[in-house]
Amino acid sequence: MRNTRSSPRSSIWEYWTSLVACLFFWIQYSYEMPHVIRIGGIFEQTEGPVSLVSAEELAFKFAVNNINRNRTLLPNTTLTYDIQRINIYDSFEASRKACDQLSLGVVAIFGPSHSSSSNAVQSICNALEVPHIQVRWKHHPMDNRDTFYANLYPDYSSLSYAILDLVQFLKWKTATVVYDDSTGLIRLQELIMAPSRYNIRLKIRQLPLDTQDTRPLLKEMKRGREFRIIFDCSHQMAAQVLKQAQTMGMMTEYYHYIFTTLDLMAIDLEPYRYCGVNMTGFRILNVDNPQVASIVDKWSTERQLPAKPDSGLLEGTMTTDAALTYDAVHIVSVSYQHAPQMTVNSLQCHRHKPWRFGGRFMSFIKESHWDGLTGRLSFNKTTGLRTDFDLDIISLKEDGLEKVGKWSASGGLNITEVPKRKGMNITDSLANRSLVITTILEEPYVMLKKSDKALVGNDRFEGYCIDLLKELANILGFSYEIRLVPDGKYGSQDDKGQWNGMIRELIEHRADLAVAPLTITYMREKVVDFSKPFMSMGISILYRKPNTTNNGFFSFLNPMTPDIWVYILLAYLGVSCVLFVIARFSPYEWYDAHPCNPGSDVVENNFTLLNSFWFGVGSLMQQGSELMPKALSTRIIGGIWWFFTLIIISSYTANLAAFLTVERMDSPVDSADDIAKQTKIEYGVVKDGATMSFFKKSKVSTFEKMWAFMSSKPSTSLVKSIEDGIQRVLKSDYALLMESTTIDYITRRNCNLTQVGGIIDSKGYGIGTPLGSPYRDKITIAILSILEDGRLHMLKEKWWSGSSCLDEERRETGPMGIQNLGGIFIVLASGLVLSVFVAIAEFVYKLRKTAEREQRSLCSAMVDEIRLSFTCERRVKHRAQPSAGAKTDAVINMHTYNDRRLPGKDNMSCSTGMTPVFP
């Protein structure tokens, strides 16, 4: 009986023992086996005959497979997924698919992307406390209460600041913002509010909603000369915009496009690399990291999607959405490492029973950090938005997209672009470019070539500017097409502010360069850019050659100016008077009147006042006289006067011959002042040219008066072209104001025209380019190059030389003035001064000897001699009687007497021949 009773108890004990053991082994086995967690993905599929898998779905699978393969992130856990596909904008289907995934037990739901479907899924995740992960931009109001939400796409406000910083760095004053849908205005709100805080003028435009044909919009922007454009659209739309912009001629150096899409690298930019367009964008994919680059290459290799014809996209390129999806899967996996014991329950949407680990897991996600494909991942713990991120600034170069800078929320914009090759040759940026050249017909700058054959294209033209253009093309390596300006004008601004001529062609970008005699002015420089001047000139007057002057009865006086004749007369009177005084003053000009009578006290002087004037006249007329000076002082006067008359007579004779052989011109006007003071001769300028602008804007009274005259008679004063002005100058009494270089060319070839007066102002001809053109500096460097090696001078000599007028023209000889003969008067005055000092020396020396001989004082002898020399009215005087001892000193020399005999007297037969006796 005992054994029977104990059997059931032992059986129960064994049962519980085995049950506990099994439970222990199951728990131990469960810890050793890898856990399995499931994530859910809801992705949109495109509508059409063939549904295409989205890039986000492919990246979702790619990330899960990589995590399970590597086992470094989740070594004891297997990551599985459940993917559901919905139609775009189907929020009801999105809600149903989300509930299906929650019933399977998922730790997080990824997607969908579009706003309506995403909001529906988000509300369910908030109710059941399951993390909802987004990778596309989504607007979140300030009072957003979606706590179970994390978005890896950069915060829209930060993106807007990045765009604004870039616009400010580029120093844009005007810009056009083109957005795809209304959400673009939210994304760009910081930029749109910039005009109120910064000096930026914005124009807002919207892309077509129901079509991808943007050509009407592009045409309108081109007509409005909107060259700085910001596009806020998807990269698929951006590819279409670029293709259509190229057909519209808007992919040139003058346009600068900024794209807000982060997928600019996914667009096929090969057709635009060499067109010179400025294209800037942003990139969050950190391709500079070698690990990221290897993952992106692997993705491109594994991705198998059919190519879309004419899409303008690069197939196989990892887009930003795909990269963000890849990083989102990894950030969820990293967060799961912090809660390995977390269990997942099957949740039912209709029960409203939340996941008890959902709040804790959402906190782990917001607190996690991960260096992914798009840089460092971190979230705002309150909003779940990604605010701390870095953006690469990328720009299109000839080698493709290149990183030129970096933007971060903390550091702002940092441009790091440096030239790839220092000392790069100037031909690199213009090589193989085809430029449109606008010009105007004007000799000798641009002319139609004369030929027996029919010429087409650039071969139709020749001239100075054409040769200059060829030199620039050889240096810079570009090709060109020459087009004549349609209205035949250089370019001026009307009262409404509108420009015409070549300036308008440049403003509207119908031409790349204006190669012509285009004057650089202040008003033109405000709307176009100019190179350094290739030719300097000024404004002068073109007038027909005046009639020759008729020779009068007194034309023999013309070789010298009236003031010279007056100076010659004064010099003659002065020399004659000085000669008279010096001759009376010098003791060596007095001699015995009766040399045969040594006892005579009468001495004689040949240079009376009349004889002095006669001596001057004889020398001036190159005939001489019988009067000869004897003293050194008077001989100095005579020699200087002879030298003076030699120069005067020689100059007069030479100039008289020139006056008799050259026909002198008598012009009625000689300067701009002469023209302004009269109204008989009409004058004007070429209409709508730089010369007209000069007079119109001038504040100088003379030029204001001239413009008032021209503007009062516009029909007669203003001419349409230079050729019309030349014909009018030849046929009527008209003067044309124009550039001096053109006048020089015209007067060399038309002997009936001449330049009147000097140059009024100083200007220069330059090559015009559109405002902000990248060609200007290259053109300037090339011009300086050919200027320094002399080729510009050779070109001018080629087109300005070869004239027959200059060979036949004899230069007009003008009368000689004081500037020509002033030196000889100075020499004459110096000789007279020298003779005075010599005469004084002679006078003092002789009186000293006389005073010693007569035993008198020097002062008394000087007083007596001065009194006797200058109080006598005749040419003889009585000398003072010498002492007895002095008389014995007289020496008779007949030979000396004969040399000093009186003029007009017969030879004396006195054998004693006495020498002159001086007082």
Omega before residue 131 within 30° of 0, cis: no
Q: Is 400 helix (H, G, I), strand (E, B) or coil?
A: strand
State the CB neighbour count (10 A cutoff) for residue 342: 18
Structure confidence at residue 315 (pLDDT): 81
Nearest 5°: the CA angle 438, 444, 448 is 60
Q: Read off the amino acid at residue 345.
A: N
Residue 904: per-residue pLDDT: 40
SS3 539: strand
Is 50 exceeded by the pLDDT of residue 907? no
Question: What integer is the mean pLDDT of 391-416?
Answer: 90
Q: What number is the average pLDDT over the span 438-449?
A: 92
**How far is the C-alpha of 750 from the C-alpha of 752, rounded, in Å?**
5
Q: How far apart are CA 133 and CA 109, in angstroms?
A: 6
pLDDT, position 633: 82
Averaged pLDDT, 577-581:
85
Q: What's residue 441's pLDDT?
A: 92
The mean per-residue pLDDT over the stretch 203-221 comes to 91
* Sequential DSSP letters for 34-93: PEEEEEEEEEEE--SSSPPPPHHHHHHHHHHHHHHHH-SS-TTEEEEEEEEEEETT-HHH
Strands (E), 804-891: 876-878
Least confident segment among 418-422, 475-479, 649-653: 418-422
Contacts of 779 (CB under 8 A, 6+ apart): 472, 476, 513, 531, 767, 769
Peptide linkage before 916 cis (omega within 30 of 0): no
For the ranges 313-322, 578-587, 819-828, 908-917, the maximum mean pLDDT occurs at 313-322
Q: Residue type at 321?
A: D
Tokens at 241, concatenated = 């915009």
Other Cβ atoms less than 10 A from the Cβ of 321: the count is 21
Residue 6, pLDDT above cutoff 50? no
Nearest to 700 by CA among 718, 737, 670, 673: 673
Average pLDDT over residues 241-269: 91
What pLDDT was estimated at residue 897? 37
pLDDT, residue 901, reads 38
Q: Enumerate the H helices of 533-606 as residue ranges.
A: 562-585
Residue that is written with structure tokens 């007329």 in the block: 621
Tell me: pLDDT of 314 over 90: no
> What burial class does residue 797 get, using C-beta atoms within 10 Å of its C-beta: 0-12 exposed, 13-18 middle, 19+ buried?
exposed
Distance CA 839, CA 624 (A): 23
239 vs 854: which has the higher pLDDT: 239
In the prediction, which pLDDT does 678 show? 84
pLDDT tens digits, 114-146: 878 888 999 999 999 999 998 887 766 655 667
Q: How far apart are CA 211 and CA 180, in angstroms?
A: 11
Quick one: tokens of 134? 């987004």
Q: What is the pLDDT of residue 94?
A: 92
Tokens of 601: 């006290």
| pLDDT at residue number 26 | 44
What would the mean pLDDT of 795-820 be, rounded to a whole number? 67
**Residues sharing a CB contact under 8 Å with residue 22, sequence separation 6 or more, in sequence order:** none
Question: Higher model confidence: residue 545 or residue 148?
Answer: 148
- Written as six digits, the tokens of 784 are 């300086």
409, 387 contact by CB (below 8 A)? yes
Q: Which of 298-312, 417-431, 764-778, 816-830 has the lowest mean pLDDT?
A: 417-431
Which of the two residues, 17 and 459, has the higher pLDDT score?
A: 459
Does the pLDDT at position 384 exceed 90? no
For the cut 60, the answer to whether the pLDDT of residue 909 exceeds it is: no
Structure confidence at residue 840 (pLDDT) = 81
pLDDT tier at 590 (50, 70, 90 boundaries)? Answer: confident
The answer to whether 261 touches 286, Cβ cutoff 8 Å, is: no
**Residue 366 is which amino acid?**
K
**Angle ∠(764,443,706) on CA atoms, nearest 5:** 55
Higher pLDDT, 34 or 224: 224
The residue ranges of DSSP E strands in 423-553, in sequence order, are 434-439, 447-448, 461-462, 479-484, 513-514, 528-530, 535-537, 539-544
Tokens of 53: 């898998």
Give residue 283's Cα distance to chain centre: 34
Residue 871, pLDDT score: 55
The residue that leads in pLDDT, 532 or 384, is 532
The first and second tokens of residue 619, run together, are 């020398």
pLDDT tens-digit series, residues 339-367: 767 788 889 988 878 998 888 899 888 88
Burial category of 408 from C-beta neighbours within 10 Å (exposed 0-12, middle 13-18, buried 19 and up): middle
Q: pLDDT at position 767, please?
A: 95
Q: 389 is written with which tokens?
A: 């991120």
- Give pLDDT tens digits for 638-695: 888 888 888 888 888 887 777 666 555 556 777 888 888 888 888 999 888 888 888 8
Is residue 307 predicted with pLDDT exceeding 70? no
Mean pLDDT for all residues in the chain: 80
- At 882, the amino acid letter reads P
Structure confidence by residue, pLDDT tens digits, 65-88: 999 988 888 888 889 999 999 988
Q: Residue 41's pLDDT is what?
A: 94
Q: What is the pLDDT of residue 176?
A: 94
- Single-letter amino acid, residue 695: F
What percentage of the chain exceeds 70 in pLDDT? 81
Residue 99 clears pLDDT 90, i.e. is over it = yes
Q: What dihedral do alpha carbons 887, 889, 892, 895 form, nearest 10°? A: -130
Distance CA 523, CA 279 (A): 31
Least confident of 12-21, 60-69, 129-138, 739-748: 12-21
The pLDDT-based confidence of 51 (bands split at 50, 70, 90) is: low
Mean pLDDT of 297-324: 79
Amino acid identity of residue 748, one-letter, is R
Closest among 586, 607, 630, 615 to 896, alpha carbons compared: 630
What is the DSSP secondary-structure string of 179-231?
ESSTHHHHHTHHHHTGGGTSS-EEEEEE--SS-S--HHHHHHHHHTT--EEEE
Residue 523 has pLDDT above 80, yes or no: yes
Higher confidence at residue 766 or residue 904? 766
- Please, are residues 253 and 276 in contact by the beta-carbon 8 Å criterion? yes
pLDDT of residue 571: 87
Distance CA 538, CA 106 (A): 85
Q: Using an 8 Å Cβ cutoff, are 858 and 604 in contact? A: no
